[in-house]
Structure 1
Amino acid sequence: MDDAPRLDAPALRAKRISVATEVATAQGGVISLGQLRSCGVTRSQVRAQLAARRWQRVHTQVVAVTTGPLSGLAMMWAAVLEGGPSAHLDGASALIAEGMTGFSWDVTRVSVPMHSRARSAPGLQVVRTRRYDPRTVQPSGIPRTRPDVAAVRAALWAVSDKQAALLLTMPVQQRLTTAERIGVSLLSVRRDRRRTLLHATVLDLLDGVRSVSEAEFAAECRRRGLPRPSRQVVRRGRDGTYYLDVCWEQWGVVVEIDGIHHGWATNVVADALRHNAVTLDSSVVLRLPLLGLRVAADDFFAQIEEALRSQGCPLPRTCDDAAARTTAS
């Protein structure tokens, strides 16, 4: 009778380890010390697994039940588990967990309530925030902020205006969320130096301000001393009439202002045909995405000035005079 518990102890330990492994497998192969305790695995048993190099420590409160390099999913789960039961991925990290591609981040960011005691670690940024709201967390999968909220926060925390605009644009292009939802989430931002930029980018995503964007383009031309272009010039191609956004007909320079939607597959063929038709008409055609007008205007306008000069426009600040003299003659 006295020997029965001792005989069952190895099997009981093995069962508890097996249960813990199943929990970890659902989390990319990692598990927190608190979860291990819930599975009945003691601290001494954890130390034994680590000493035998069957497991490896990831953070102070997280271990991996495998050895070798960890996957991206495992590192994200480890970040959340290290942050504690209220932690969740936020910003760009949440978007990547949601499935956003084409963007990488060296540090995984998790948000926790102000009272949390979790600490940052190498590769992990734990942020105590007053904006913590469990209602914005996805109800399933790895704990993470909803894509619309995550996109806004990622843009606010971005290292540059260009990156901020991209982090609003990419989730919409990859259909993780919609511009409408991002716009609603953006309304909660009352004060931030990027607030105006983010609102303008969302409007571009909604594709509801094309005429405003062309007006902005004309204003930039005036400010930089460029000639006044014609707008919505009508041209006739093989398949009918089409319009050019802005055009300096005297010098044969065309600028096509592309909305965010022009990056989508459904527009590629028609846009390419129109671009080629105008090029075959001996005009210089430049593309200016609205995103470029927001974050890289100087670079794009430098190309426009170069095109005008190459076509004989006597810049700077003399084109309007030259156009007036040509009209008078």
Structure 2
Amino acid sequence: MSTYPDSLPPPAADVDRWPGLRALSVRQAGVVSREQLRQVGLTWGDLEAQLAARRWSEYGPLTVLLRNCEPTRLQLRHAAALHVGDKGCLAAATALEVHGLQGFCDDDQIHVLTPRASTVPPLPGLVVHESRRLRPEHIVMRAGLPVTGLERSVIDRGAWQRRPRFVYALLAASVQQRLTTADRLLAELRTVGQVRHVAHMRLAVHDIVGGSQALSEIDLVRFCRKHRLQPPEQQAIRRDARGKKRYLDAEWRLLDGSVLVLEVDGAHHIAVAYWTEDMKRGRQLFKPGRYVLRCGAHELRLQPAELAADLELAGVPRLIPRLVTARPSYDLASQ
């Protein structure tokens, strides 16, 4: 990956020898295809002369950099778009860079999406993904680059990850940064079919919109029995200050007489204002002999063993196996 910034120096003066090449260079960050050079009047000999003089440099079999230097990240994106041509577009993490998502585009590679069975020549750092459901309406232009729409880009980025935990943070960030909405993500999820982590993605969106759906699927009694812990004495869904069903409270009376409260938060990556609200509630719940632990709904789905270990460490008793006694048998024939 290039360490150079995306800002570029102005095009070299030699591009003015061919009408239209300067404008093309500015529009495409100093990256052009060999076919575009031919269209503005360059001959094969002209190109070879520029390359031999080291004014320009080749990048792959189809594209040329109009300067002899390490390509920037922006130039790599343009080179990839020119390389796949009309067959595909930038996708997933690379498309999200263009859309402006912050914090989830640290992938050094350039990802492109093409229709199934397309042939794309090799290019350094290029990762080609194929799709049976890539249609023209899925491709939009952003900053002069063809990319998948934001919702499709988010879902592809999540589906191409191995761990579902990444999905929750990714979808929440896309909504929190106001690039999309939960409704638009849900609408896109209805069209994707059985891609990897699709069930986790749907749950993540429900977490984002308030948590009621996420909480409805949580059964702490079943969770405790599975991990050999005493089930809670009571549990109830509670609303937040906005009136949305968001929390699931459960209580255990411990062996020393104290009470342990587990507060399950159905929302994910909440805003600072609501985090402050939660801290205030934590203070209100505190009483001598009453302790509060908090977790997210996604932890119960993704890290149940770790949560069970924390509850046991906090004093939740182990579940005592029920003893089964044999019933006395009667021999009716002998009576």
What TM-score results when the alignment is normalised by the length of structure 2?
0.76
Q: Secondary structure at the match of 2:86?
A: coil
Q: Which runs of 5+ in 2 are unaligned?
A: 1-12, 239-246, 324-335
Whole-angstrom CA distance in 2 between matches of 1:233 and 1:320 = 29
1:215-234 CA-partner distances (Å, limit 9, x unpaired): 33443122112222232499
Letter in structure 2 aligned against 1:121:
L
Residue 107 of structure 1 is matched in structure 2 by: 109
* Aligned residue number for residue 196 of structure 1: 199
User: Are residue 156 (structure 1) and residue 159 (structure 2) matched?
Assistant: yes
Shift of the 134–23 alpha-carbon distance from structure 1 to 2, 3 Å rule, reads same
Q: Does 1:226 align with 2:233?
A: no
Larger CA deviation: 285-294 vs 138-147: 285-294
What code does the residue aligned with 1:222 have?
R
CA contact (8 A) 1:92 1:167 kept: no
Please point out which of 274, 277, 288 is paired with 1:267.
Answer: 274
Using the TM superposition, give the Cα deviation of residue 144 of structure 1 relative to its aligned residue in structure 2, in angstroms. 0.7
> CA separation of 1:197/1:28 partners in 2, compared to 1, >3 Å: closer, same or farther?
same
RMSD: 3.1
The residue that corresponds to 2:168 in the other structure is 165
Distance in structure 1 (CA, Å) of the matches to 2:237 and 2:213: 19
Which has the larger share of helix? 1
User: 8 Å contact 1:81–1:87 — kept in the other structure?
Assistant: no
Structure 2 residue 216 is matched with structure 1 residue 212: yes
Task: State the match for 1:46 in structure 2.
Answer: 47
The corresponding residue for 1:301 is 308
Alignment correspondent of 1:239? none
Give the 3 Å change call, closer, same or farther, for CA 82–246 of structure 1 in structure 2: same
- Matched residue type, 1:19: G
8 Å CA contact 2:160, 2:196 repeated in 1:
no
Residue matched to 1:246: 250
Query: Would the aligned equivalents of 2:99 and 2:142 in 1 still touch at CA under 8 Å?
Result: no
Change in CA separation of 1:258 and 1:57 when aligned onto 2, cut-off 3 Å: farther
Q: Contact between 1:227 and 1:320, CA under 8 Å: does it hold in 2?
A: no
Match of 1:291 among 278, 298, 307: 298
Q: Structure 1: how far apart are the matches of 2:95 and 2:40?
A: 28
The CA deviation string for residues 28-62 of structure 1, in whole angstroms up to 9 with x for no partner, is 33222222222223333233333333323222212
The worse-fitting range, judged by mean Cα deviation, of 21-30 and 104-113 is 21-30
Mapped to 2, the partners of 1:202 and 1:276 lie a distance apart of 29
Q: Is the CA contact (8 Å cut-off) linking 2:34 and 2:62 kept in structure 1? A: yes
**Cα gap change, 1:273 to 1:150, in 2 (>3 Å):** same
When residues 320 and 175 of structure 1 are mapped into structure 2, their CA distance, relative to the original with a 3 A threshold, is farther
Contact 1:245–1:257 under 8 Å retained in 2: yes
* Residue 34 (structure 1) aligns with: 35
Aligned pair in 2 of structure 1 residues 59, 282: CA closer, same or farther (>3 Å)? Answer: farther
Deviation at 1:101, TM superposition (A): 1.5
Please give the per-residue CA displacement for 1:86-132, whole angstroms capped at 9, x wherever unaligned: 32111222222211121222322111234643234331112332211
Deviation at 1:80, TM superposition (A): 1.4
Change (3 A) 1:46 1:247: farther
TM-score normalized by the length of structure 1 = 0.77
User: 1:82-161 residue pairs with structure 2 within 5 A?
Assistant: 82-103=83-104, 104-114=106-116, 116-141=118-143, 142-161=145-164
Percent sequence identity over matched residues? 29
Q: Distance in 2 between matches of 1:200 and 1:267?
A: 20
Distance 2:293 2:108 in 1: 35
Shift of 1:187: 1.1
Residue 303 of structure 1 aligns to a residue in which SS? Answer: helix
Return the offset for 1:17.
4.9
Distance 1:29 1:132 in 2: 29
**Contact (CA 8 Å) 2:220, 2:231: kept in 1 or not?**
no
Equivalences, count: 297
